[in-house]
Structure 1
Amino acid sequence: MFAKSKSFLFSMSKLFHHHHHQQWREMGAMAKVRLKWVKNKNLDHIIDTETDLKAACILKDAIKRSPTGFLTAKSVADWQKLLGLTVPVLRFLRRYPTLFHEFPHARYASLPCFKLTETALMLDSQEEIIHQSHESDTVERLCRLLMMMRTRTVSLRSLHSLKFDLGLPDNYEKTLVMRYPDHFCFVKASNGNPCLKLVTWRDEFAFSALQKRNERDAVTGEDGLYREFKRGQSALTFAISFPRGYGAQKKVKAWMDEFQKLPYISPYEDASNIDPESDLMEKRAVGVLHELLSLTIHKKTKRNYLRSMRGELNIPHKFTRLFTRYPGIFYLSLKCKTTTVILKEGYRRGKLVDPHPLTRLRDKFYHVMRTGFLYRARGVGMVSKEELLLDKVDDEGPEEEGSEEEEIVEGSELEEDSEDE
């Protein structure tokens, strides 16, 4: 259905840019509106819980990769920053006895060692099943990420940072990539850094999450906007969920109405012909960030992970302002000494709207972690094997804190050029 979308949307962008360039440049409302940062406690809570979850998953994979089947406290002592933890790694490992079994080293009795418990191994085997059964979905997401890049390449360093967010298997370079030589290949950048490159453009993947959502609405009769878009008569609009107090402001409403009326340029289109200072390019950049977050299974990632790909994605150097200018689309969390950006439409009342099977398993993983934390004195038998069956994985997710709790933080300015950990 989207086989011709690439040429169609490219010609559209040229048409709008040539005939309406001045119109997009003179929208005063888009240049003047500034919004205060609004704190969302539900979304911040997700960052809190998933920071520990990600650290535990990384340690689980590291123990599994270890030739000895365990890690020593000394070998992970300097991993605190890497894992994004606010406590020493040894203390973190001891918090979760349901996952990590502590025992003394065979030669050095005072050196603590950690191996995976039977519970952790069972969860890991279920994760392997999910990776295998959803491999085509993972390949598509990886292709689409590369298709958004200017040179169809991404550095392995940047990709490794996104591994958890994209739901890639731990050893994706040796397994997933190597099984698809007609999709991916390894190359070296001009600076010598290893990169992953898309071998062949995939027309069947060249449509965005926003296009797919509007197409579904058109098919179900909920929205005729997509049919008009395909005839070149309308622009596609983003789902907007304003923080409390913003949606009723006339100035904000007028600004967003003008923004939504701008032509939608697919993130898979060539945008080199668009004025980089124009409002049209700003909407295109918002679309790129929207699509990249849509590709992540938790609908969020760290701002610094995006910064490392800014040039390839062709988004502004100071792109954080896009998140703060469009708080109805994105949310910035400052929890855990880092800056995380969340796609708001991906969540409803603190839970994922459309959870990927891997996120559901990670919910179970977090349940096991929390159980171990609460009942450390009672050993590892607090989690039954029946609870861990794959078909028993429920939609637990992070605990909900009631209704959406939002708070305007006076005087809060998010530093554009500040660096996360």
Structure 2
Amino acid sequence: MKLINKLKSTKQFNGKSFYNILNPNTHQIQVRQMTTSKRVQDRSKKKRVHDLEIVTEKWKIFHKIHHLMEVIKAEPEHVISIRYLEQERRQINLPKPHKLSDFLRKSPKLFDLYKDRNGTLWVGMTQDAEDLIKEEEREIQARSDKVAEFVTRILMMSVDKRIRVDKIAHFRRDMGLPFDFRDNWVHSYPSLFRLVKSEAEDGGVDHEFLELVGWKNEWAVTELEKRSGNFNGDSPGKLSLAFPMKFPPNFKKVFRIGGKLEHFKKREYLSPYADARGLQAGSQEFDKRAIAVMHELLSFTLEKRLVTDHLTHFRRELVMPQKLMRLLLKHFGIFYVSERGQRFHVFLNEAYNGQELIEKCPLVLWKEKVIDLIGYRGKKKKPATFDEFSDVEDKDLFKSDSDDERLQMNLENENTMDGLDDDVLADDAVMDIEEVSRAYKDS
């Protein structure tokens, strides 16, 4: 052991930490890599906000149920055989051998199952579910003008004032876009935007773009400016408004970066609606403007929450950094990244008070009505709590009648649009653990 301790030495090589150690059996020097990098899930446990983790769990079941309701709604008679509905198993991430019929039977207030004379099992929606579908259509229609404004403002923030339609489609559920968004709705506001086709240069698939038609100065105002009342309708330029910050209750290191935080808050930044072509990637101005863009996008959503890789699809169009996850994690006073499952969700901290969204639009209230009808639990039970290191769904809802084995379910397994050329988040999956604690070192 003395010889091993004597030979042990630490060196720095390409930013990594290495040490040499003698193998007692072979008497050979082995080089082992030591790194301070950790997975995203491991590196920020001290900054987890349990209330927002519960919110993430709350919406997981809803999105699965809502997807099935949309599939059934698309059928002429609002009924579909279980055999054909099985095609949606991957979309709701229901692993075999668990039965889709068992999953549906757990919500008898929403789904009706019956067999025909040939023994084929069919599923339809209850009257309560049918009424909810009609109510959703009314609420989406009532919100149409507001959503058109948000889509226009996203186009106004983009470099070329146009964005591919399939990328905007990522926000359909998050912003409350109508079901016929691609086919009809995009043609409903010709004074704001238009649909244009672009032929692929390499002879591949042609793309459809939504292109800005008319710039509106009164819409080139951030949600933060509106709340402060500090805007005059001039062309967008530099802003000095501080982003509201809310740190995790168990995070004790804020006092160490207090002065740097104040400096960060006071630094001016370019409005998301101003031309950002001249900003240098990696500069302080570039990063703070990217924070403003993400703040604005999250403000447009129903739940002030997005799947993080939906944001990454807009990096080029909205001039945001390649490693967007790093920026979100660094500024954990403004954003909260929920790390449950394979797909991460980012929240706007200021929009929540504990588990409750502070301002709920009618579509969010509608979603809560659906949640109230999901699952049949019989007698009243204690409110659900979720272990922050577990991804187990509601046992009562997912447990099979014929198989009491616990189901392990991942986060919403929505398929990412094919054909997008954005980089994956592999580079963001590993990050030096010290980077978060040095969040505002260069601010």
Question: Please, what TM-score do these two structures have when normalized by structure 2?
Answer: 0.70
Partner residue, 2:110: 99
Unaligned runs of 5+ in 2: 1-42, 201-205, 390-424, 431-443
Separation in 2, partners of 1:291, 1:61: 29
Q: Hey, what does 1:202 align to over in structure 2?
A: 216
Q: Deviations over 1:216-273 (max 9, x none)?
A: xx6xxxxxxx79x99x997110000011354663432222222112113211111111
Give the drift of 1:354.
0.9
Structure 1 residue corresponding to 2:269, chosen from 250, 255, 264: 264
Query: What CA distance in whole angstroms lies between the structure 2 residues aligned with 1:172 and 1:50?
Result: 23
1:11 corresponding residue in structure 2: none
- Do the aligned residues in 2 keep the contact of 1:156 with 1:195 (CA within 8 Å)? yes
Indicate which of 19, 42, 47 corresponds to 2:51: 42
Mark the CA change 1:74 to 1:406 in structure 2 (over 3 Å): closer, same or farther.
closer
The structural deviation recorded for 1:415 is 6.2
**Residues 55/149 of structure 1: CA separation in 2 closer, same or farther (3 Å cut):** farther
| CA 1:45–1:272: 2 relative to 1, 3 Å | same
Distance 2:239 2:313 in 1: 34
Partner of 1:22: none
Contact 2:53 2:388 in 1 (8 A): no
**Partner of 2:371 in structure 1?**
366
Alpha-carbon shift at residue 355 of structure 1 (Å): 0.8
Secondary structure at the aligned position of 1:341 is classed as: strand
| Equivalent residue number for residue 114 of structure 1 | 123
The CA deviation at 1:185 is 1.9
Residue number among 340, 344, 348 corresponding to 1:335 in the alignment:
340
- Aligned-residue offset at 1:190: 5.1
**Residue 305 (structure 2) aligns with:** 300
Alignment pair present for 1:349 and 2:354: yes
Q: Percent of aligned pairs with the same residue?
A: 27
SS at match of 2:270: coil
Aligned-pair CA distance for 1:112: 2.4
Relative to 1, partners in 2 of residues 1:89 and 1:256: Cα closer, same or farther, differing over 3 Å? farther
Q: Which of structures 1 and 2 has the larger relative contact order (alpha carbons within 8 angstroms, sep 6+)?
A: 1
Q: Tell me whether 45-54 or 140-149 shows the greater mean CA deviation.
A: 140-149
1:139 to partner: Cα distance: 1.4
Q: Secondary structure at the match of 1:83?
A: coil
Q: How many residues are treated as equivalent by the alignment? A: 341
CA, structure 1 residues 92+161, in 2 after alignment: closer, same or farther (shift >3 Å)? Answer: farther
Match of 2:37 in 1: none
Worse overlay, 173-182 or 39-48 = 173-182
Q: Shift of the alpha carbon at 1:120?
A: 0.7
Offset at residue 317 of structure 1 (A): 1.0
Per the normalisation by structure 1, the TM-score is 0.73
Q: Which has the larger radius of gyration?
A: 2
Q: How far 1:56 sits from its partner (Å)? A: 1.7
Equivalence for 2:34 = none
Change in CA separation of 1:282 and 1:196 when aligned onto 2, cut-off 3 Å: same
Over 3 Å counting, the alpha-carbon distance change for 1:121 and 1:285 in structure 2 is: same
Q: Which residue type is aligned with residue 213 of structure 1?
A: R
1:310: how far off?
Answer: 1.6
Higher strand share: 2
Structure 1: where are the runs of 5+ without partners? 1-34, 219-225, 379-398, 408-413
How far residue 189 of structure 1 moved from its aligned partner, in angstroms, is 4.0
> CA, structure 1 residues 195+95, in 2 after alignment: closer, same or farther (shift >3 Å)?
farther
CA pair 242-324 structure 1, distance change in 2 beyond 3 A: same
